[in-house]
Amino acid sequence: MDEATLRQGLHAAGYVADQDLATVLWLAVELERPLLVEGDAGVGKTALAAALAGALGRELVRLQCHEGLDLAQAAYEWNYSRQLIEIRLHETQSGTLRAADLFSRDFLLERPLLRAISGEQPCVLLIDEIDRADEGFEAFLLEVLGDYQITVPELGTLRARHRPLVILTSNGTRELSDALRRRCLYHYQDYPTLAREIDIVRLSLPQAAHALVEQAVAFVQALRREDLQKKPGVAETLDWIRALHRLGLAAVPDDAQLIRHTLACLLKTREDQSQLDPNRIRQLIEGRRAGVAEREAQA
């Protein structure tokens, strides 16, 4: 599969990828190396993995990372209840039971990492928000990402039947280790350009009026140039335009107050909301003309 086909597949799965991103994904498939995608929250990192699974026709296996994530939640766990039942059954039947019988694949509960490497078909493994996991877990991942294998002390090393396509995402809340970075290809997902964001919105909200989409996206792009604590991502843009569409609007309204009431979709901190007063909103909508008009009116 070349990158043009991949790009079309992503588009069919509802994801608008630019040429560079499609090339990097093609490279990750070609070299069978994990891809680390970094970027601000809401730029479409997780959606990329889901769309990629759709485009490649593979199952998506997702591991959501969090503080305190351990091996039992991420890779495998022994099914103790079944082991206990097995022991009791053998006690009643007076049969012999060896430890090796209890620690076989039958008693192993597969968690996302093990499921990804032991599946009958290759899959897309999404390791989401790896920066939230502890450093110790990162060290464990090195074996999975480098050699596509997991070592279970009681069983030995389990190698991947099919190498999964691994996508790791990070919001950059913590510095990842060099060892992890060196095992991955890297892509920094920035906020989309105006044209790309319009494409994304049109693909996701085909029912919204064209003028509304174009004006709203231009507004969000201008908003991102403001000095905000949390810049609105693509998900926020979609939410906002969906809200405006539900209000029955065919274009961004001139009423700054009305816009301000819907800005809860875009601005998620109190400081950002208070920074954007109606005057500033008007300036963002109308650009310099608003400022000039106001100055003239005051004069």
Give the footprint of other proteins on this chain (CB under 8 A): 3, 19-21, 23-24, 27-28, 30-31, 33, 35, 38, 80-81, 84, 172, 175, 178, 181-182, 185-188, 227, 229
Q: By C-beta, is 71 or 205 nearer to other proteins? A: 71
3-state helix, strand, coil in the chain (%, to 5): 55, 15, 30
Q: Which two tokens stand for residue 258?
A: 């009305």
206-224 in b/e form (b: 16+ CB < 10 A) is: eebbeebbbbbbbbbbebe
Q: By C-beta, is 33 or 242 nearer to other proteins? A: 33
Distances from the Cα of 245 to the Cα of 43, 210, 216, angstroms: 22, 11, 11
Q: If residue 235 lies in a helix (H) or strand (E), which one and from where to where?
A: helix 234-246
Q: By C-beta, is 38 or 197 nearer to other proteins? A: 38
Residue 33: φ, ψ to 5°? -115, 150
Q: How far is the CB of 33 from other proteins (least distance, A)?
A: 8
Q: How far is the CB of 122 from other proteins (least distance, A)?
A: 19
Q: By C-beta, is 27 or 97 nearer to other proteins? A: 27
Distance between CA atoms of 17 and 31, rounded to whole angstroms? 20
Q: By C-beta, is 197 or 272 nearer to other proteins? A: 272
Q: How far is the CB of 179 from other proteins (least distance, A)?
A: 11
Q: How far is the CB of 187 from other proteins (least distance, A)?
A: 6
181: how many CB neighbours lie within 10 A of its CB?
Answer: 15
Q: How far is the CB of 206 from other proteins (least distance, A)?
A: 29
Distance between CA atoms of 117 and 123, rounded to whole angstroms? 8
Q: How far is the CB of 112 from other proteins (least distance, A)?
A: 18
Q: How far is the CB of 131 from other proteins (least distance, A)?
A: 12
Distance between CA atoms of 81 and 57, rounded to whole angstroms? 36
**Residue 249 contacts by C-beta under 8 Å, 6 or more apart in sequence?**
209, 212
Q: How far is the CB of 19 from other proteins (least distance, A)?
A: 8
In the chain, how many H helices and how many E strands? 16, 9
Q: Using the 8-state DSSP alphabet, how is residue 97 labeled?
A: -
Q: By C-beta, is 270 or 295 nearer to other proteins? A: 270
Q: By C-beta, is 188 or 195 nearer to other proteins? A: 188
**Residue 184 contacts by C-beta under 8 Å, 6 or more apart in sequence?**
33, 34, 35, 36, 145, 168
Q: By C-beta, is 36 or 249 nearer to other proteins? A: 36
